[in-house]
Structure formats: C-alpha cells, structure tokens
Structure 1
C-alpha cells in the first residue's frame, strides 16, 4: 500500500468517525442507559442526552483513523483476487486486526463516555479524574477484552457483508459503486451486525459500568452474559437492540459513505 493511500485511509477514517459519533451520540446515550443495570430512568432517562460527548469528540478521530489505516494495510498485505473464495477471509482478518488496534484508543474514551452517560450530573473531566484516582490507568481499560470480543464478531459480519454487497451492486450495474451506494450497503451490513452482536454489547456496557471490585468489573464476558440471562432473560441480553440497530444502520450509512467519499477526494 502506497504512503498516499495510507494517509488517505487515515484521514478519511478519522473524519468519518467524528461525523458519525457526534451526529448519533443521543441514540448511543439512550442505548447505554437502556443497557445499564440501574435501568433507563435511574441512569438519566432523556436528561443530559449529550453527557460524555467531550470524550467522544476527542477519541473519535484517532480511533476511526487507527481502524481504517490498519484495515486497509492488512487487506493490502493479504490481497487476493476479488473472485477468490478467500476474499471474505481477507476482509475478516483485516477487520479483526483493525479492531484490536482501534480498541487501544476506543476503550478509554468509551469508559469515560458511558460513565458520563449514566451520571449526567457529573462532568467528563470529573469522571476521568475519579477513574484515574481510584482505579489507575487499568480503570480506563476496564472492558478492553469485552470490547474486542464485541467488535471482532461485529466486524466479522459487517465488513465482509459490506464488501460483498458493494461487489454485487458493482457487478449488477457494470461499474464500481458510488459513495452513496457504498453507504447504503454499509447501513444494511451495520444494522444486521448490530442485531446479532447486541448481547456482547450489553455485557461490555455492564462491565464498564460495574462498581470497582465487583464480580462483573473483573471483565469476565461469559459470567456477565450468564448473570444477565439469569436476572433478565432474553430481553436483558437484547436490551437496547432497537436504538443500537438504528444508530449503527445510520452510522454505517454516514461512516462508510463518508469514508469512501473522503478517500476518493484525497486520492
């Protein structure tokens, strides 16, 4: 992959990440509060819907940029013919590497953001200071494993499906898809991936919001899922699925469409 292409992927990914995270932040807040153990109303209801937005604003660009520069470079290294049956595997591996790298930036931002979302009266800086004072740096990375375990299955579904739909649409019309068509493919792929990975997202949210020192805070995803199943059943595992699907479908449209368009303009 040429340096110019790498820089284009980095810049386009970062810009797309900021766009989608800030536009859809209210839906993300609603989803987080629906998934919290204390319940939607006690977590803030519809109050302070932009609580935690500074954390997102700071983390969005480097997080998305890290994902796409890793995704595109790994995809380039593992490049295979587009008609090969190994093409989806290439996209899966590239997306997985991208998520592992991006989560190094995403998780601290996500921890602060979600704690602010369920405590709208506390400021972002106060939550950051409180977390560092009581839990240290490891507190900001609580939920790293659960986030990676959520993001990798999500990407294993979303990105191969996105690439497949683009290829199918390109084949049907006889030329490469436009950025808006790529965005439509991204919306469908993202919504489907969001639905099937919601239980992992609920577990990640519970781990990040759990009281320090508690069993849930230890980060055991299977234990968190089992606890949710015992206390709330299937509805608990799929808490927030509608706002999650809505946000990620819209997010896929905005994020992947913006990424494709910006990358085309930069190349």
Structure 2
C-alpha cells in the first residue's frame, strides 16, 4: 500500500465517518431507545435526540479512518485469486472488511458505550457519562460489549462490503467506465440497508449489553444470553426492535459514508497528482 493511498484512506475515512454520524445522529438515538430494556418512552422517547452527539462526533473520524486504513491495507496486501472478479476477490473484501472492523472497534466501542448510555439517559451529557462510567467500572467499563460489537460489525461488513464492491463492479461493467461517487453512494445505500436488516438482532444484543446495569447477567457480555433474554421478554419482534430506524439510518449512512469516501479519495488523488505534476523538476 503506497503512502499516498494510506493518507487518502486516512483523510477520506475520517471525513466520511464524521459526516454520516453527525448528520444522522437523531435516527441512531431513536434506534437505541427502541432497543433499550426500559422501553422507548422511559429511555427518552423523542426528547433530546442529540444527547451523546459530542462523543459520536469526537469518535467518528478516528474510528472510520482506522477502519479504512486497515481495509485498504488488507486489500492491497492479499492476493486477489486467479479471477480478480470471482470468489477470490470476494474473500479479499470479506477479510479486509472483517479485520478493519476488529481494528476500528478499539475506538468504536468506548465511543458507543458513552454515546448509547447518554442517549438512553437524555438528561446527562457525554462528559458526565464518561466520568460516571470510569468512576463505577474503571477503564474496562468503556470496553463492555467489545466482543458483542465485533460480532455485530464483522457479519455486517461481511455482507455490506462485498455487496458494495460487487454492485460497483457490475455497474461499472454495464456503463463501460468506473462508477461515479453518486453511483457508489447508491451501491452503499442498497448494500448497507440489506446488511443492517439482517444483522439487527446482533445490534439489539450489543445495545442491551452496553446499557445493562453493572451487576446484571446481561452485563457479562454473552450475546446468546442477551438474545434469549430479549426473546423471552418481547418475543421475535423484540429481536428486531429498531429495525426501521436502523435500516433507514444505515441505508442513508451507507450512501453518505461510502459516497463521501470515494469522492474524498478522488479529490485527494487529484490534488496529489496535480501537485506532483506542478512540482519543479
């Protein structure tokens, strides 16, 4: 992976992550409250939908940048197989996306813990939530739900990114030239929406684990126990709580996130190329 590609992924990923998380934050808040064990109204309802925005805004850029740097590095490092458009290419995208998520969760999980606890207790602020978590649970409290988050993000990316790359390749083949950023956005919306709907139960489990009281059984981080608890309390519908705002949020987010990412990379490459051409020889 060339240095230019690394910096392009770093800057474009950071910009894309911040753009989508800040612009669609209210939908994320509604989804979290629908999944809360307290219920939608007691968790805040439609009030204070920007609670926790500060933590999301601060964490968006490094999380997305870390993901895309890892994603692009793995893509560039792994062989694409005999057929660059076949199963070998798909597995490269799967591996790159999965490892990207494992790395990104090192930043994403503390941000999610603070953000979701603030969303579910809308009278608090991100800073107060951070202080309370550190005082009661220590630094490890910020990583509660790391495993469940990875188990949500890896299947999601396992589905989204190969579909995104596949849709772009097919569209490119049909029109005879690489897809434009707005076309990449459409591919991102479709792939993100499909992946979001399928993985909603894992998102519900992750939310319950992060919001659970410290001494509760769910707080231990067992995904299966969390899913069983939700199913026993609310049935099959409970496993898909928040699916509508989650699917809409991630469809729009996928369009913005991946569209802005491709557009930013294009602009960065153009600037770097122009500067190299203009440099004195």
For normalisation by structure 1, the TM-score amounts to 0.99
Once the two structures are TM-superposed, the CA of residue 25 in structure 1 deviates from its matched residue by 0.1
Q: Report matched runs for 1:68-107 at 5 Å.
A: 68-80=68-80, 81-107=83-109
Identify the residue that residue 186 of structure 1 maps to in structure 2.
188
Q: Report matched runs for 1:188-227 at 5 Å.
A: 188-227=190-229
Once the two structures are TM-superposed, the CA of residue 55 in structure 1 deviates from its matched residue by 0.2
Identify the residue that residue 175 of structure 2 maps to in structure 1.
173
Identify the residue that residue 63 of structure 2 maps to in structure 1.
63
Q: Report matched runs for 1:140-179 at 5 Å.
A: 140-179=142-181
Specify the structure having the higher radius of gyration (Cα): 2
Once the two structures are TM-superposed, the CA of residue 124 in structure 1 deviates from its matched residue by 1.2
Identify the residue that residue 261 of structure 1 maps to in structure 2.
263
User: Is 1:16 paired with 2:16?
Assistant: yes
Q: Distance in 2 between matches of 1:69 and 1:110?
A: 21
Identify the residue that residue 278 of structure 2 maps to in structure 1.
none
Once the two structures are TM-superposed, the CA of residue 151 in structure 1 deviates from its matched residue by 0.1
Once the two structures are TM-superposed, the CA of residue 79 in structure 1 deviates from its matched residue by 3.6
Once the two structures are TM-superposed, the CA of residue 181 in structure 1 deviates from its matched residue by 0.2
Once the two structures are TM-superposed, the CA of residue 230 in structure 1 deviates from its matched residue by 1.1
Residues 40-66 of structure 1, C-alpha deviations (whole Å, 9 max, x = no match): 000000111100000001100000000
User: Is 1:249 paired with 2:255?
Assistant: no
Q: Distance in 2 between matches of 1:198 and 1:125?
A: 28
Once the two structures are TM-superposed, the CA of residue 231 in structure 1 deviates from its matched residue by 1.2
Once the two structures are TM-superposed, the CA of residue 28 in structure 1 deviates from its matched residue by 0.2
Secondary structure at the counterpart of residue 121 of structure 2: coil
Distance 1:126 1:168, change over 3 A: same
Unaligned runs of 5+ in 1: none
Q: Report matched runs for 1:31-70 at 5 Å.
A: 31-70=31-70
Identify the residue that residue 279 of structure 2 maps to in structure 1.
none
Paired residues, number: 267
For normalisation by structure 2, the TM-score amounts to 0.94
Once the two structures are TM-superposed, the CA of residue 85 in structure 1 deviates from its matched residue by 2.0
Q: Distance in 2 between matches of 1:29 and 1:85?
A: 38
Q: Distance in 2 between matches of 1:45 and 1:262?
A: 36
Q: Distance in 1 between matches of 2:87 and 2:119?
A: 43
Secondary structure at the counterpart of residue 51 of structure 2: coil
Q: Distance in 2 between matches of 1:28 and 1:202?
A: 13
Q: Distance in 1 between matches of 2:130 and 2:17?
A: 22
Unaligned runs of 5+ in 2: 270-281
Q: Report matched runs for 1:230-249 at 5 Å.
A: 230-249=232-251
Once the two structures are TM-superposed, the CA of residue 96 in structure 1 deviates from its matched residue by 0.5
Identify the residue that residue 122 of structure 1 maps to in structure 2.
124
Q: Distance in 2 between matches of 1:226 and 1:174?
A: 49
